[in-house]
Structure 1
Amino acid sequence: MTILFEMTIRDNHEQVLVFEDDAIPHLNFTLLFRQLPSLCLEADKMLLGATIWHSKHTNWLGGVCFGADHVTYGTFALLIKRICYRPILKWLQFGKPKPYDHVYRHLQQQKLTVRVAFPPFLVIADVTQPSLINNNRTSIQHDIEKRSEIHLWHLKDYPMVRIPIHTTKIDESKVRPSKKRVNRRM
Structure 2
Amino acid sequence: MKNKFLITLMILIMISCQNKDKTDSGNVVKTIAEDTLTKTVAGAADLSDAPPRDDKAVEMIRKQLSILLKKDLPAMTKDDRFFYYEAFDLNNDKKNEYFVGFSNSYFCGSGGCSGYILNNDGSVINRFTVTDFPIFVTTSVTEKFYDLKMQSGGNSHLIKMKNGKYPSNPSVQEVWNGDISKEKTKVLDVNSKRLKKYSF
Q: Over alpha carbons, which structure has the higher Rg?
A: 2
Larger proportion of strand:
2
Name the TM-score, length of structure 1 as normaliser: 0.22
Q: Which gives a bigger RCO, structure 1 or 2 (Cα 8 Å, sep 6+)?
A: 1
Name the TM-score, length of structure 2 as normaliser: 0.21
